[in-house]
Amino acid sequence: MSEDLLVQIYNAFDPKRPLEPDSPFYVDCHAVRGQENIIKEVGRSIVLANEPIYQLYTGHRGVGKSTELRRLRRYLEQNDRKVIYFEATDDIDEIDVQYTDILLSCTRHLLEDLWHYADPKPLVNWLRSGWEYSTDLASAKIDFSGLRQAEQISMFTKLTALLRQAPSIRQKIRDQLDLQMESLIKTLNYFIVEAQQSSGKELVLIIDNLDRIGLVSYGNDKTNHDRIFLDHSMELGQLACNVIYTVPISLVYSNRASQLRAIYGNCSVLPMVMVRSPNGTIHQPGLDKMKQLVQQRVGQFTDKALVPEVFESNAVLESLCLASGGHMRELMQLVQTALNWTEQLPIQRQAMLRAVAKGRDDYRNAVDEVDWERLAAVAQTKRIPNEDDYRGLLFNRCVLEYRMMEETEDDFRAVLWHDVHPLIQKLEPFQRAVERLQKSNVPPPIYRFSLSGSSSDEDVQNKLAIMQENNPDWKFVPDKPKPGESKAFLAIHKDVDERIYQGVYIIERTLTEIFDQLL
């Protein structure tokens, strides 16, 4: 067998290469991703809206967001929009980012792409006035003497490069930008409006890779993601054009998610391909999509049968697909690792096992000791609590998100759940944590509170209203008062699964008179 074929197949599974809309490798997976559709959810909003919109788009890193954003770009261009797409990681340090960095990057790309449609001089003058004579930032001085217009524009590239590559003066540059941000946005908007009028096209700015911004907790239940996208949402939402910001998936599950929705509208999420159902059984349509993804790439270079000529058996192929958890980049990496252990096709079971073992080792190193118990809890409940520690596991892909749509005659709803990455599930520390949880597992508590016999009806209602306001996810069911009590209530979770589970606990307490109210 030619070594060239192995090289071709190996590079077809490059995990870092997004696909263009017309790529023969592309497989439409929206049916096994909760019917997620970036064209409907984001593209149509831009096409239909009379005013600019600011949209958030998220999903796990490597799940295929960049590929979907490229499809969105083509759709918008076909609908007569001018689209500027760029990867923010060209300009920012993803482990140390502030809102100023993002807006400076936007300015650079807008200027480079649109200076033929609008006069760039006001923006160049803004840069000159703020930076050419800076005494505090000697290494960030911008010298405009003798430069042609195109060279003057390139000074924005110099400034973003300094911001990314010079940590010693990074904060000083940000402080200077922060002081001048209002004037920068005003000047930039004049430029954007002129460019749109000159080109006759509405502008859409797509900023990719912001989901890679590392998670930093500051205490008081606030993170750097909150500071960028919420505390500075006013600045991010002032550009005079449509903007799509990619954001870390953990941000969507913070306790400020309702604020995100109020500011940016619906946040579109690209979930995993559902290769297993919530109960752990194989979801055949999702598994078939992952196998099709492999076939599309291999089939471009050979007519060999996928099984048994490229993969030794269907079991080998399916094991790799299931081990990925429905995560595109994970599958790419697993196949490449298996090919590292393959001298000639087909890929053998031993090569597959080595690839899975390597993936498990990588994830073992990503899990802190205190996280095994949290992962065991996620595996049992299929949910992540609204806490920073759990959001960190989501951000690091130790926990994956899945969605499916349930449709009835009069309803259409998304069912969301989470699960531990399959590569983690066979690690011994995780399995021991699951065993400990199962041994200690008891029905979730029902909280009972009562009011004294001297309480007035008004006092009862006021206290009940306070309890309901502070516990919006719980319902309050009357309980039989004990001697000395005027009223008694049980706080019971609204979620149907929780109610059924707690129902066992209620029967054990012989509170059958309220069991009907639980269901």
> Strand, helix or coil at 414?
strand
Over 50: is that where the pLDDT of 497 sits? no
CA neighbor of 400 nearest in space, from 62, 65, 66, 60: 60
Whether the per-residue pLDDT at 387 is higher than 90: the answer is no
Residue 409 or 369, more confident: 369
Query: What's the mean per-residue pLDDT of the chain?
Result: 84
* CB-based contact 450:487 (threshold 8 Å): yes
Mean pLDDT of 149-174: 80
Tell me what the mean pLDDT of segment 492-510 comes to.
43
Q: What is the mean pLDDT of residues 185-192?
A: 94
% pLDDT > 70, the chain: 84
| 106-110, 132-136, 176-180, 197-201: least confidently modelled range | 132-136
* C-alpha span between 318 and 94 (Å, rounded): 35
Of these ranges, 327-341, 392-406, 454-468, the one predicted with the greatest mean pLDDT is 327-341
Task: In whole angstroms, give the CA distance from residue 112 to residue 84.
Answer: 10
What is the per-residue pLDDT across 200-215, written as a single tens digit (0 to 9) for each? 999 999 999 999 998 8
Which of the two residues, 474 and 106, has the higher pLDDT score? 106
Contact 53, 45 (CB under 8 A): yes
C-alpha to C-alpha distance for 4 and 15, rounded to whole angstroms: 19
Which H/E stretch holds residue 355? helix 349-366
Report CA-CA distances (Å) from 137 to 93, 100, 146, 174.
19, 16, 22, 11
CA contacts within 13 A on the Cβ side of 265? 16
pLDDT at 138 over 80: no
158/179 Cα distance (integer angstroms): 20
Please determine, for residue 496, whether its predicted confidence score (pLDDT) is greater than 50.
Answer: no
Interstrand relation of 399-407 and 202-208 (parallel, antiparallel or unpaired): unpaired
Average the pLDDT over 62-83 and give the result: 94
User: Between residues 405 and 452, which one has the greater pLDDT?
Assistant: 405
pLDDT of residue 509: 36
Assess whether pLDDT exceeds 50 at residue 517.
Answer: no
Amino acid at 421: H
**Could you tell me the pLDDT band of residue 221, with boundaries at 50, 70 and 90?**
low
- How confident is the model at residue 516, as a pLDDT? 41
The predicted pLDDT at position 139 comes to 54
Kindly list the distances between the CA atom of residue 106 and the CA atoms of 99, 184, 504, 513, in Å, as whole numbers in the listed order: 11, 11, 56, 62
Which residues partner with 237 through β-bridges?
none
- What is the pLDDT confidence band of residue 27, given thresholds at 50, 70 and 90? very high
Q: Is the pLDDT of residue 135 over 60?
A: no
- CA-to-CA separations, 35 to 269, 403, 437, in angstroms, rounded: 11, 8, 34
Percent of the chain that is helix, strand, coil (3-state, to 5): 55, 15, 30
Q: Which two tokens stand for residue 428?
A: 């011994």
Query: Residue 1 in contact with residue 345, Cβ under 8 Å?
Result: yes
Q: What is the pLDDT of residue 183?
A: 92
What's residue 451's pLDDT?
A: 65
How many other C-beta atoms lie within 10 A of the C-beta of residue 158?
15
| pLDDT of 140 strictly over 60 | no
What is the DSSP code (8-state) at residue 311? B
Q: What is the pTM of this model?
A: 0.79
CA end-to-end span of the chain: 63
- In SS3 terms, 121-147 reads as HHHHHHHHHHHCCCCCCHHHCCCCCCC
Specify the residue for token string 């192929």.
317
- In this prediction, residue 87 carries a pLDDT of 94
CA distance 212 to 218: 18
Q: Do residues 509 and 443 lie in contact, with contact meaning Cβ atoms separated by under 8 Å? A: no
Confidence grade of residue 452 (pLDDT, cut at 50, 70, 90)? low
Q: Binning pLDDT at 50, 70 and 90, where does residue 415 land?
A: confident
| Among candidate residues 269, 292, 287, 241, the one with its CA nearest the CA of residue 51 | 241
Mean pLDDT, rounded, for 183-194 = 94
